[in-house]
Amino acid sequence: MPPAAAELFGDNLDKAIAYHESLATDGSIRGFIGPREIPRLWDRHILNCGVIGEAMAEGITVADIGSGAGLPGIPLAIARPDLQIVLIEPLLKRSVYLDEVVEQLGLDNVTVIRGRAEEKVVRKQVGHVDVVTSRAVAPLGRLAGWSLPLVKVGGRMIAMKGASVDEEIERDAKAIRNAGGGDIKVYTVGETLLSEPTTLISIKREK
């Protein structure tokens, strides 16, 4: 366990360790985590996701779409217990795993919904949140079309992205506008904790 984990998760470090253990064992057996990723779970997955809380105000509501095995939503919930987080995942086997993890870790601030972010029934269940987050779900234009309808006007989608984010912004500018998005910002978080900080794109819902 890297020293940064204790700094990031604080009093909830035991939950972060338990989640790491779950991903490395049960998550791997079920096929959610590839064998090559197990040695890199802390740096490339858990810490990488937990630091996105730096971009979020206190006490807000957050939806994580396409949550998969709980990334970034579970590390975010552990690092920021003040947030109310909804994990949205369409696949049954993954949503079952998420329910199990939430119960095992005692994450009272997390709810799991099985479905796709673009489905009307899911949008009705979730309502409108302050922030929608995601990691490796879809190209930016499509992601904006799924994320922004779940965001309150004035709220933001805050997605984890890679080095090609500027190209995606240029390519998908029209789709972002059509989804109601504006005021695009790209920045990094976790500079003091990670050797490779996490890149985020933040898009405000303006209509």
For residues 132-142, give the mean pLDDT.
92
Is the model's pLDDT at 170 over the cut of 90?
yes
Sequence-distant (6+) residues with CB within 8 A of 143 are: 134, 137, 157, 159
**What's the Cα-to-Cα distance from 13 to each of 47, 62, 101, 166, rounded to whole Å?**
11, 21, 15, 35
* CA–CA gap between residue 144 and residue 160 (Å, rounded): 13
Beta strands 129-135 and 61-65 are parallel
> Which sequence spans correspond to the domains of the chain?
3-205
Are the CB atoms for 137 and 72 separated by under 8 Å?
Answer: no
Those residues whose C-beta lies under 8 Å from the C-beta of residue 159, and which sit 6 or more positions away, are 133, 134, 135, 137, 140, 143, 147, 200, 201
* pLDDT for the residue numbered 40: 92
Residue with tokens 């933040």: 202
Share of the chain above pLDDT 70, in %: 100
* pLDDT, tens digit, 9 for 90 and up, residues 56-81: 999 999 999 999 999 999 999 999 99
Q: According to the CATH classification, is domain 3-205 in 3.90.79.10?
A: no
Whether 1 has a pLDDT exceeding 90, the answer reads no
